[in-house]
Structure 1
Amino acid sequence: MVQENYSTITELVLLGFSNHPQAEAPLFFLFSLVYLVNLFGNTAIIFLVVTDSCLQTPMYFFLCHLAFLNIFYTTAVIPKMLFNLLASKKVISYKFCLAQTYISLFMGAAECIILAVMALDRYVAICYPLRYLLIMNWAVCVQLAVGAWGISFFASVVPLCVTLPPFCGPYIIDHIFCEVPVLLHMVCGDTSLKEVMMVIGASGTLLLPFLLIILSYLHILIAVMRMNSAEGRKKAFATCSSHLIVVTIYYGTGMFMYMRPKSLYSAEGDKLISLFYAVINPALNPLIYSLRNTEVKRAWRRVL
């Protein structure tokens, strides 16, 4: 299947949940349902924003990017995971493993930056309501979106392409899909420099956007506390609550996965963390934004 020469690696063993064979069939049906919810929910968000003129605002423009990102990310991960749950030979091609690594890093970085841009949008909407549409005009929104995708690509995929080291056998991945922290276990030689580079990269794509989100919400909190109307404060908090829930879930798991030393890795624990931010969270996002958002509920009623 594989040979010791790095250039001739064709397949890697992807163990997934093979340590729990009795759970593989139930997990297949569970994750299939989660994937369908993800596809339907995020596609529905994009459809609503495109077809309903009331939702064609900067906030929902960025929400569309988040929905597209969730679909693309999970499609790169879940179908192969589902196939391996039922397959007797649990392998992944070397090229597809690299593709999953690049995509997961790219989509993860893009989600961090898009969530930061959405926080900035809420800051402008609440702190400068009369100038909101002037500041967040469509040209600015497009520039922010292009910048988010561009920065994510050049800050994550390009450095990985340049620095990706050769792997040493055995070519066995005790995980549910290929991503950088897991592949470090197969790197030949000392990985301390690679770990430092991963932490530095994560600081740029995880920590800096997170700090921007915190600063945005500190300004929002100050602005809301100065409001005289209780109804105004309630409405302001309502517009931010969905975004805050998504940020808390995503950043909590992402930082734990990418900003810790290799010595703290645990195969079973890592699988659960990755499941949460790569499989479950993308399916939860459209539900959170739909169930807690009056405008989305009204758009659903208009469509139905």
Structure 2
Amino acid sequence: MENQTFNAQILSIEGLKVSPASSVPAFVLLLLIYVFIMVSNVGLVLLISTERSLHQPMYLLFCNMSINDAFGATVVIPRLLSDVFTPVTQRYIHYYECVLQAFASHFHAGASHAVLMIMAFDRYMAICNPLRYAAIMTTRMVVKLSAGAWVAAFISVAILLGLTIRLTRCRRVIMNPFCDNASLFKLSSQNLLINHIYGLGSAVVILGSSLGSITLTYLRIAIMCFSSKNKVLSSKALQTCATHLAVYVIMLVSSFTPMIMHRNPQWADSGKVASVMFHVVPPALNPIIYGLNCKELRQKIISVFYRSEVKISQDKLYRNN
């Protein structure tokens, strides 16, 4: 059966490999993480959307990141939660659902790199060209750059998955916690040279452009800050950049950890679990990092909680009277 080409629409998916004794703790932990990701990221988007003082390019880009993070987590985590209590031999997924999940997973990754590159450009313009910043980084420009990032990621991933779904399949087992392009084209016994070339080429272009642009951008920012006579402004600028770099490093570590583990047989199973990190760790940490390090956001968050507490206190006082 494995060597015969067929068009089976139902695939078997490995999912998370957890023992029966660990099913409940794994489910609870993953559910809590997902709830936190959705509440923190959606809350950040709502806060920025409703506060007119935060309608600035930097915060609009935060919205982009939060929307993408919530989307990336939703692509993977709900499916993992639904499979935790299902035996590995009974975990199935329809082929078109697997393709959609793979598309969304890669789209999330591509959009993450693109949005962070735009954020680096925004910080560069704000610090190195402050007099031209307001004229260049308008709301319209931010919308154009954001739309360009999402469209570029969409087209790149559409080609990637298009090359995969053209293949005939002779296997039906997805050896991964969730569907991605590699696990899909491994279902075929056809020549995969074109898939490997495009997949590797697109990964090199995305990683190379993001690493190159962010490295050059922040080198120029660092040089300008260290040569500036205004140490207060330089310190503030470096702190803002450090926040962005921390987010980028977390994303890279989450991306490369499973790739390294997959190439060591003794870590193969751990590498499969680590592949979920990209959809869990950055979406959970990004709102914390920006919320704690961005003074304006921190003040708005505190003021929202303060107003809520005052309103609750007033309601209690009104009821008691």
- TM above 0.5, yes or no, is yes
Q: Specify the alignment match of 2:75 in structure 1.
A: 76
User: Bigger CA drift: 177-186 or 207-216?
Assistant: 177-186
Q: Retained in 2: the 8 A contact 1:109–1:152?
A: yes
Report deviation, 1:198: 0.9
Alpha-carbon distance between aligned partners in 1 of 2:281 and 2:11, rounded to the nearest angstrom: 25
Letter in 2 for 1:153: F
Alpha-carbon distance between aligned partners in 1 of 2:71 and 2:143, rounded to the nearest angstrom: 20
- 1:1-304 to 2 correspondence within 5 Å? 5-7=5-7, 9-18=8-17, 20-88=19-87, 89-164=90-165, 165-169=167-171, 171-255=172-256, 267-304=268-305
Q: Indicate how the Cα distance of structure 1 residues 212 and 102 shifts in structure 2: closer, same or farther if over 3 A, else same.
A: same
User: Bigger CA drift: 226-235 or 111-120?
Assistant: 226-235
User: Bigger CA drift: 140-149 or 130-139?
Assistant: 130-139
Q: Percent identity?
A: 29
- DSSP-derived class of the 2:186 partner: helix
Q: Retained in 1: the 8 A contact 2:177–2:273?
A: no
Q: Retained in 2: the 8 A contact 1:174–1:267?
A: no
Report deviation, 1:299: 0.9
Report deviation, 1:263: 6.1
- Unaligned segments of structure 1, at least 5 residues: none
Report deviation, 1:243: 1.1
Q: Specify the alignment match of 2:314 in structure 1.
A: none
Normalised TM-score (structure 1): 0.90
Normalised TM-score (structure 2): 0.86
Give a deviation string over 1:135-178, Cα, whole Å, max 9, x none: 10112111101110111111122342144323322x22232110
Give a deviation string over 1:94-132, Cα, whole Å, max 9, x none: 111111001111111111101100011011111012221
Q: Indicate how the Cα distance of structure 1 residues 167 and 253 shifts in structure 2: closer, same or farther if over 3 A, else same.
A: farther
- DSSP-derived class of the 1:86 partner: coil
Q: Retained in 2: the 8 A contact 1:105–1:157?
A: no
- DSSP-derived class of the 1:282 partner: helix
Alpha-carbon distance between aligned partners in 2 of 1:275 and 1:252, rounded to the nearest angstrom: 12
Letter in 2 for 1:22: A
Q: Indicate how the Cα distance of structure 1 residues 193 and 162 shifts in structure 2: closer, same or farther if over 3 A, else same.
A: closer
Work out the number of aligned pairs and report it. 300
Q: With a CA cutoff of 8 Å and minimum separation of 6, indicate the structure with the bigger relative contact order.
A: 1
- DSSP-derived class of the 1:177 partner: coil
Alpha-carbon distance between aligned partners in 1 of 2:164 and 2:98, rounded to the nearest angstrom: 16
Report deviation, 1:183: 3.0
- DSSP-derived class of the 2:38 partner: helix
- Unaligned segments of structure 2, at least 5 residues: 306-321
Letter in 1 for 2:100: A
Larger-Rg structure: 2
Q: Indicate how the Cα distance of structure 1 residues 107 and 248 shifts in structure 2: closer, same or farther if over 3 A, else same.
A: same
- DSSP-derived class of the 2:11 partner: strand
